[in-house]
Amino acid sequence: MTLDLTKIRADFPILSRKVNGQPLVYLDNAATSQTPKQVIDVIADYYQRYNANIHRGVHTLSQEATDKFEEARKTVQDHFGIEKTHEIIFTPGTTHSINLVAFGFGSLLKTGDEVIVSALEHHANIVPWQMMCERSGAILRVIPMTDAGTLDMKAYDKLLNDKTKLIFVNHVSNALGTINPIEEIIEKAHAIGAAVLVDGAQACGHIKPNLQKLNVDFYTVSAHKLCGPTGVGILYGKEHWLKKLPPYQGGGEMIDEVTFEKTTYADLPHKFEAGTPNICGGIAFGAALNYMNAVGFEAIGAYEDELLKNATDRLSKIEGLRIYGESERKTAVISFNIDDIHPYDIGTLLDKMGIAVRTGHHCAQPIMDYYKIPGTVRASFAFYNTLEEVDQFVNGVQRATDMLR
């Protein structure tokens, strides 16, 4: 299946705007993807026709909003191959989802238990676990990385033991684009009785995982990484694990009965959905998944691989340019530096040319510390980018380099 780029780009109003007098070339998709009008229309429709609080209203608007919200949960279930809808928790996003699980495990772990994180993680998949270890007395171990930006799986094997209770790792590195061998990580963890949380935020705009086949215990997703709105995502958890974890927040919706003597909690998924959720965001998340599936994930993956190869080949010809993260399996992300030019300076000049990239440590300081650099320039591509935009980007990098040398 070949993508119709003209038709796809017409779906994204923002791609027609200009920045600093130049046509926008948006290459910051790893930070957030753009939103098609099909999703924007769903957001507008919600507020124009059936904006109401959900689950407890008997009036028509509330019932319509509830139906749409729960339809979105079913869409998530179908997309990710999840067995039961109540294993899907709507959250504000991946960071919240990870904190929810880390908070819960803080009450399950004891002093001397071990948990394992990878060296390729976003800070959101490091800091909550450090806080959990401080509360519980558990010990944090780290899977080291290699110069190629991959995980040292022999070291992972050596870290596993009968004290290991939980492993948390990203599906795809946001800083480097590396696709981690999560199937192997999960299988080996389960062999010793440990649970696994996979941060899928960076993966799900490019890869369509089947969570039952993966047999993962927890998986997190943020809607804004796959053409949905910000401020909404999901936590998937196996039913038996979600029942073990205590509620993360207290309030309305997550209760069964409340008295001053004792409160009992609602069943899944409401046990973890305290307060009014992002109703519109959840509905729009479902619409974004429908849009992405209509485009087709196989076609998206194949085309983004073409963009990645083209950009990598061309950037590699620029004198003094080093690409970080050269795994054979990666998504369309390129992190690079040029000689001793600060990445911020390159990013600033590219912005003057209308080209949006990300500069800095990308919330992944341990990776930057490993390479002994302050940060990188990161270009991240999506299925609505074009080969012509790759040309503009590479030419812009060369021009910026010539100006800064």
3-state secondary structure 265-323: ECCCCHHHCCCCCCHHHHHHHHHHHHHHHHHCHHHHHHHHHHHHHHHHHHHCCCCCEEE
At residue 290, the pLDDT reads 98
Model pLDDT, residue 60: 97
pLDDT for 1 beyond 80: no
Q: In the structure, what pLDDT confidence band is assigned to residue 287 with cuts at 50, 70 and 90?
A: very high
The pLDDT score that the predictor gives to residue 405 is 87
Report, as an integer, the average pLDDT of 391-402.
98
**CA 322/CA 341 separation, integer angstroms:** 12
Q: What is the dotted CATH code of the domain comprising 5-30+297-404?
A: 3.90.1150.10
With a CB cutoff of 8 Å and minimum separation 6, the contacts of 225 are: 30, 32, 33, 201, 202, 204, 205
**Domain ranges (residues) in the chain:** 5-30+297-404, 40-293
Of the pLDDT bands very low, low, confident and very high (cuts 50, 70, 90), residue 69 is very high
At 154 the pLDDT is: 98
User: Tens of pLDDT along 201-246?
Assistant: 999 999 999 999 999 999 999 999 999 999 999 999 999 999 999 9
Query: Is 363 marked active-site?
Result: yes
pLDDT of residue 56: 83
Distance between CA atoms of residues 154 and 157, nearest Å = 5
pLDDT digits (tens, 9 = 90+) for 2-54: 899 999 999 999 999 999 999 999 999 999 999 999 999 999 999 999 999 99
Q: What is the pLDDT of residues 113-132, one digit of tens each?
A: 999 999 999 999 999 999 99
Whole-model pTM: value is 0.97
Which one from 133, 204, 227, 363 is the annotated catalytic residue? Answer: 363
All residues at 6 or more sequence positions from 254 whose CB lies less than 8 Å from its CB, including other chains: 247, 265, 266, 270, 271, 272, 273, 274
Asked if CATH classification 3.40.140.10 holds for the domain at 40-293, the reply, yes or no, is no
